[in-house]
Amino acid sequence: MTGVRRILLASDFSKASVKAFATAASLARTSRATLMIVHVFVPFMPAVPEEYLGGATLDRLNADARRSAERQLAKAIKKAKAAGVRAAGLMMEGEPARQIVRAARSKHADLIVVGTHGRTGLSKFFVGSVAQRVVLTAPVSSSDGER
């Protein structure tokens, strides 16, 4: 793979992301590229009226979830570095597909690696696929982490 200097890995720390990590780390090692691991934090938005879940409780839940994501991101960076890959991390907040594409543009990624949960049928129709939206809107090549 020639000309690949920056690989962006989008990770939600799921089983699919573990497979994508292996692919991205291998590609980065082979091409001597830098691996940018991106996690998009999506704040918890309750489906119940606010009087059932106080603002302080919601803030605490989101702060705890963010800290957990930051720890997982640090762990992924450490794992990549242990595998001999130059790696860095980036936490973003918002709609995952949009933020992943934004990160790819701002970091000048040559390649995006994204895992997929393999949703089908109504689940995919209603929930959609972050990987699919990234592939459709990204300014660079992408890989779904499958080999």
Nearest CA to 108 among 26, 28, 4, 11?
4
| pTM summary value | 0.80
Instruction: Report the SS3 class of residue 41.
Output: strand
Domains of the chain: 6-143 (3.40.50.620)
pLDDT in tens, 92-113: 999 999 999 999 999 999 999 9
Beta bridge partners of 31: none
pLDDT in tens, 32-76: 999 999 999 998 877 666 556 677 888 899 999 999 999 999 999
